[in-house]
Amino acid sequence: MVARISPVMLTQAQRYQIIRKYAMKHILEIKDLQELARRRVPKMFYEYANSGSWTETTYRANEEDFKKIKLRQRVAVDMTNRSLESTMLGQTVAMPVAVAPTGLTGMQHGDGEMLAAKACEEFGIPFTLSTMSICSIEDVASVTTKPFWFQLYVMKDREFIGNLIDRANNAGCSALVLTLDLQILAQRHADHRNDLSAPPKLGLWNLLDMASRPRWCLSMLKTRRREFRNIVGHVKGVDDMSSLAQWTADQFDPKLSWDDIEWIRKRFDGPLILKGILDTQDAIMAAKTGADAIIVSNHGGRQLDGAPSSIEVLPEIVEAVGDKIEIHFDGGIRSGQDVLKALCLGAKGTYIGRPMLYGLGAMGQKGVTLALEIIAKELDMTMALCGEREVVNLDRTNLYHGHKTGR
Ligand SMILES: Cc1cc2nc3c(=O)[nH]c(=O)nc-3n(C[C@H](O)[C@H](O)[C@H](O)COP(=O)(O)O)c2cc1C
């Protein structure tokens, strides 16, 4: 006879386990994680992630343009022993996907950067920590055993920037990602309407909103990391930088030029990646700097609204400099199929921003792992159905008519 278990006989922990199991079964794509994050993360921070600048045309185009690329189906090909393993900057990666740098990640979930970095380390892909992170370089180094990557914004205070690079060196960061497309901060309406700040201001609406997200509150109560810890306490005269818009307007360097790249490259001990390249002329300039890679990126549609999607410009940039510098890609990836398309069009590696943030906001470290698993599974199945067994062999021939139509 099978003993019947009544829900009242279960402990709270067991009940949570059952709910979690049920929820996991129904999380099948990145959209599911996004929906969960929308419910669990305070509006101010969910909308910070889930928005682009001004009309959000470029933000939407990043995703929509992927849908226009058709795959080439092949049949009766041996699909056994498939491999997603590849390299980015000579480093072996479990799949050619890295986590992109995102600011305020520790506001999507307490200790967010530390959790995401651990998920990436376990999965075997690079994690990139943003200058504008909540957890510091040292915080992330304290919970990881392998090197992570560090993203640099150049500010007017060059002494601080030099020290920041030294801190990345001391923490053993194995690549420096220099972001070039945010000398000034574009306007994202949602952030203005929500009066975005870190930590959040404790007004009535914010308090009510936060109170309706108990998981988030609990994760924040468990940590003391609630401000920009790469910066606060490290820059002279900066004790309040809760207003991101004001702080970037005051501190980011609008005079940044190609000449600055030389000293930054010399100061950092490892490879340099230039992020935010969207134009062939800039790609040619970037290749001449001696940097090791570029990221074709429009900052996830958060800077120049009206610019083309990243995937639209990828082929022409590959054509211009593909034989001179390693090309990475980000913007609009929401599935393993999108990763595959970017690889087919010539990217050696890709990055995900929002899919990681949705996973983190939805379920903390487990959510990031789940996001990576979803993308890996979709990439693997798509690759097989395209008749390929190794991710490193993907190229334009895996796209319908080589994706040449309409160009
Ligand atoms: C919430 C958020 C914060 C971001 N913060 C940074 C940052 O601090 N530094 C940076 O170089 N890029 C930043 N980015 C851009 C990402 O690195 C990446 O280019 C973009 O997210 C890729 O697009 P996707 O989100 O569609 O994957 C941010 C993106 C988002 C969504």
The pTM for the full model equals 0.94
351-378 mean pLDDT: 98
Residues 61, 341, 121, 292, CA torsion sign: negative
Burial class of residue 279 (count of CB atoms within 10 Å of its CB; 0-12, 13-18, 19+): middle
What pLDDT is recorded for position 237? 66
Mean pLDDT taken over the chain: 93
Atom 13 of ligand 1, nearest CA residue: 102
pLDDT digits (tens, 9 = 90+) for 132-186: 999 999 999 999 999 999 999 999 889 999 999 999 999 999 999 999 999 999 9
Whether pLDDT at 5 is above 80 = no
Q: Which residues contact 207 (CB under 8 A, 6 or more apart)?
A: none
327-332 mean pLDDT: 98
Atom 8 of ligand 1, nearest CA residue: 103
299 included as an active-site residue: yes
213-228 mean pLDDT: 96
The contacts found for 294-297 with CB under 8 angstroms, 24 or more apart, are: 294/321, 294/325, 294/326, 294/327, 294/328, 295/177, 295/328, 295/329, 295/330, 295/351, 296/327, 296/328, 296/329, 296/330, 296/331, 296/347, 297/181, 297/329, 297/330, 297/331, 297/351
What pLDDT is recorded for position 8? 62
Whether pLDDT at 275 is above 80 = yes
Which of 392, 377, 365 shows the shortest CA–CA distance to 120? 365
Q: Lowest-pLDDT range, 84-93, 163-172, 253-262, 288-297? A: 253-262
13-34 mean pLDDT: 80
* Catalytic position from the list 26, 192, 234, 299: 299
pLDDT digits (tens, 9 = 90+) for 378-394: 999 999 999 999 999 99
What pLDDT is recorded for position 252? 87
Query: If you measure from the C-alpha of residue 205 to the centroid of ligand 1, how many angstroms do you get, rounded to a whole number?
Result: 27
Q: Lowest-pLDDT range, 61-70, 184-193, 310-319, 353-362? A: 184-193
Q: Using the atom order of ligand 1, give the atom closest to the CA of residue 354.
A: 25
